[in-house]
Chains A and B, each alone.
Chain A
Amino acid sequence: MAETTAERRLLTDALSLVPKAEAEQSMKDFKSDQEVRWCPGCGDYAVLAAVQGFMPELGLARENIVFVSGIGCSSRFPYYMNTYGMHSIHGRAPAIATGLASSRRDLSVWVVTGDGDALSIGGNHLIHALRRNVNLKILLFNNRIYGLTKGQYSPTSETGKITKSTPMGSLDAPFNPVSLALGAEATFVARTVDSDRKHLTQVLREAAAHPGTALVEIYQNCNIFNDGAFEVLKDREQAQEAVIRLEHGQPIRFGAALDPEQGGDGLGSRGVIRDPATGDLKVVDVASVGTDAILVHDAHAMSPTTAFALSRLADPDTLRQTPIGVFRSVDRPVYDTDMADQLEGAVEKYGKGDLGALLAGNDTWTVVG
Chain B
Amino acid sequence: MTSQVSTPDEQTPGAPITDGQSPAAKEVRRLDRVIIRFAGDSGDGMQLTGDRFTSETASFGNDLSTLPNFPAEIRAPAGTLPGVSSFQLHFADHDILTPGDAPNVLVAMNPAALKANLADVPRGAEIIVNTDEFTKRAMAKVGYAASPLEDGSLEAYNVHPVPLTTLTVEALKRFELSRKEAERSKNMFALGLLSWMYHRPTEGTEKFLRTKFAKKPQVAEANVAAFRAGWNFGETTEDFAVSYEVEPASGTFPTGTYRNISGNLALSYGLIAASRQADLPLYLGSYPITPASDILHELSKHKNFGVRTFQAEDEIAGIGAALGAAFGGSLAVTTTSGPGVALKSETIGLAVSLELPLLIVDIQRGGPSTGLPTKTEQADLLQAMYGRNGEAPVPIVAPATPADCFDAALEAARIALAYRTPVFLLSDGYLANGSEPWRVPDVGELPDLRVQFATVPNHTAEDGAEEFRPYQRDPETLARPWAVPGTPGLEHRIGGIEKQDGTGNISYDPANHDFMVRTRQAKVDGVEVPDIEVDDPNGDADVLVLGWGSTYGPITAAVRRIRRGGGRIAQAHLRHINPFPGNLGEVLRRYERVVVPEMNLGQLAMLLRAKYLVDAASYTQVNGMPFKAEQLAGHLAEVINGNPEEDIDG
Contact = CB atoms under 8 A, between A and B. Distances in A.
A1 interface: no
Given A95-B321, A343-B308, A62 B313 contact: no
A356 B441 CA distance: 8
A85 B504 CA distance: 12
Given A84-B491, A104-B485, A364-B440, A99 B283 contact: yes
15 contacts: A63-B487, A78-B493, A83-B491, A84-B492, A86-B495, A97-B324, A98-B320, A99-B285, A125-B313, A128-B313, A339-B308, A346-B302, A359-B440, A364-B440, A368-B250
Interchain residue pairs A-B with the least CB separation, the first 4? A87-B495, A99-B324, A99-B321, A95-B320
A343 to B, nearest CB: 5
Contact of B486 (A79, A104, A343, A349): A104
Contact of A360 (B257, B330, B494, B505): B257
B497 interface: yes
Contacts of B204: 363
A103 interface: yes
A351 interface: yes
Given A63-B491, A100-B327, A367-B258, A107 B269 contact: no
A159 interface: no
A99 B323 contact: yes
Contacts of A277: none
Contacts of A103: 281, 283, 308, 324-325, 328-330
A81 B67 CA distance: 55
B276 interface: yes
B343 to A, nearest CB: 11
Interface string B436-459: 000011110000000000000000
B516 to A, nearest CB: 16
Interface of A: 19, 32, 34, 61-66, 68, 78-79, 81-89, 92, 95-104, 106-107, 124-125, 128, 339, 342-343, 345-347, 349-353, 355-356, 358-361, 363-369
B533 to A, nearest CB: 24
A366 B256 contact: yes
Interface residues of B, number: 71
B272 A353 contact: yes
Contacts of B256: 366-367
Interface of B: 55, 58-61, 204, 250, 253-260, 269, 272-273, 276, 281, 283, 285, 302-308, 310, 312-314, 316-317, 320-330, 332, 346-347, 349-350, 354, 440-443, 485-497, 505-506
Contacts of A97: 324
B317 A98 contact: yes
Of the listed residues B58, B60, B302, B325, the one surrounded by the most CB atoms of chain A closer than 10 A to its CB is B325
A88 B257 contact: no
Contacts of A364: 257-259, 440
A62 B489 CA distance: 9
A367 B323 contact: no
Contacts of B332: 99
B259 A360 contact: yes
Given A92-B317, A367-B61, 19 more contacts: A85-B494, A86-B494, A87-B495, A87-B497, A88-B323, A95-B317, A98-B310, A98-B324, A99-B285, A99-B327, A103-B281, A103-B308, A124-B313, A124-B317, A355-B443, A358-B269, A358-B305, A363-B58, A365-B259
A223 B136 CA distance: 78
Contacts of B59: 363, 365
Nearest to B301: A346
Nearest to A81: B493
A98 B313 CA distance: 12
B304 A351 contact: yes
Contacts of A347: 303-304
A365 B321 contact: no
Given A124-B313, A347-B304, A96 B443 contact: no
A114 B498 CA distance: 22
Nearest to B269: A359
Contacts of A366: 256-258
B493 A84 contact: yes
Contacts of A349: 304
Contact of B485 (A81, A84, A350, A365): A84
